[in-house]
Amino acid sequence: MPESETWAAPDALGVCTRDLDVGARSTLRGKRLRRAFPDTFHTLGSWPMEWRELLVDWIRASSPKRKWDTLLTVAGSRRIHFAHELLDALLRGGWVELEERRQSGRWLPVWVSFLELPTLRQQLGLPDKDALAELFRTEALHPFDDSRLRSAQQSLDAFPPQSALRRLALLRALDNWLTGQRFGTRRDFSLFARGTTKAISTAEWEWLERHVDLVELGIEKHIPAVWMRAPVLLLHENLGLDLRMIDDCIALTPDTLSSLTGIEGRIGCWRLLENRTSFERAARRYGDKDFVVWMPGFAPSWWRQSVAQLLTLCPASALIACDPDPAGIEIALQAARIWDKAGLSWQPWGMDVETLSSLPDRQPLSQNDKEQLQRLLRQPLPDSLQALADWMLVHARKGEQEGAI
């Protein structure tokens, strides 16, 4: 027993008491501390399962000092009798220090301080939070190869250590996924990251969605596919798929497209459209003479690889149509790199000052839009996109492709 503190001799149950403020005895008020000082902490192995389950609920919070009323709330009316039994067992076992207040002649618990949380957690089979927190800090020092994961990593500071470590490992797997230039469904990624197809929880998927664009990183909810219409015959060895029979559009997977050995037919040009509704209109209108493809915004690598493969087999210039807004310019430039790399020409379609200024509905630019435009204007742009960016910055307005095409 500590000599620097004035504790009364232990009672019959081994519990000592230290008065904090007894007040006037006639008022029957005051405060006191109670705790035991065992030579060794009692094992929890023989405790009833109801006590152990309730204790797990009590020590989930990181704070070692809890209000008794809060612990009663955690117990609920169904376990109220277990709460009192458990508190008494913890006190006699030396696991807690109890601050009590005297009211109406009775001593009532007010604060419960857990004295050996790491040991308690170990006996209950729970992880040591301090050790996990230190492990997380160490693991978090290693940077990711892909900078797009930094925001998700920074958010982990708000999670309990065990959850933070589990999600950090998920980000490591995602970093490896990107390094390997993989793409697939969410189940494919779950199998890659954790060994089974359903190992990532809904909460973890929602957390990932808040911080990264999963589609951009090559992870689709369903099997990814390229939507298209064209007056061509797709060849695979001695087999052929005739797209001329399609009146609107069709979706083909990257694996199907990567297996093509040739394309027969003549096209006027390629037409890439970002807006899905505009794509469907254009597919019906131009798909009997042009190769019309839907472009899913900032297109993921699997889409760019698939379109590059098609372009190799069916080379032609391109018309690229995106929203007449700052993001649309960047999306168009990203897609245009496929044609630049192939040494083929391209030009914007429906992304000019005349189209934007004639739209019946235009939206104001946000601050992020303005900053994005300023970044774009610091690089070489095609004349029409240069003029469009200048006009948006001067008039502080942007538009949507659906109103133009």
**The one-letter amino acid at 375:** R
Q: Which long-range contacts (CB under 8 A, 24 or more apart) does 391-396 make?
A: 391/353, 391/356, 391/357, 392/324, 392/325, 392/326, 392/356, 392/365, 393/365, 396/364, 396/365, 396/370
Domain around 57: 15-123
For the stretch 27-57, pLDDT in tens is 556 888 998 888 766 677 778 889 988 998 8
Region 88-98: mean pLDDT is 91
274, 384: one domain: yes
For residue 144, the SS3 value is: coil
Query: What is the C-alpha separation between 237 and 120, in angstroms, rounded?
Result: 67
Q: What's the whole-number mean pLDDT along residues 388-393?
A: 94
Q: What proportion of the chain, given as a percentage, has pLDDT over 90?
A: 54
With CA atoms as reference, report the closest residue to 58 among 49, 70, 50, 47.
70
Alpha-carbon gap, residue 223 to 186, rounded angstroms: 9
Assigned domain for 342 exists: yes
Predicted pLDDT at 26: 46
The candidate with the shortest Cα–Cα distance to 363, out of 396, 389, 320, is 396
Q: Is residue 7 part of a domain?
A: no
0.85 surpassed by pTM: no
Backbone φ, ψ for residue 184 (5° rounding)? 165, -165
Mean pLDDT value of segment 188-215: 90
Token reading at 45: 């192995």
Quick check: is 2 in a domain?
A: no
95, 123, 151 — which closes off a domain?
A: 123
Phi-psi region at 76: left, alpha or beta (left = phi > 0; alpha = psi -120 to 50): left
Q: Judge whether 272 lies within some domain.
A: yes
| Interval 128-154 mean pLDDT | 82
16-21 average pLDDT score:
84
The Cα-based distances of 327 to 368, 370, 376 in angstroms read: 10, 11, 10
Closest to 208 measured CA to CA, from 182, 189, 183: 189
Residues 20 and 60 in one domain: yes
pLDDT, residue 10, reads 87
Q: Does residue 9 sit within a domain? A: no
| pLDDT tens figures, 219-263 | 888 888 999 999 999 999 889 999 999 999 999 999 999 999 999
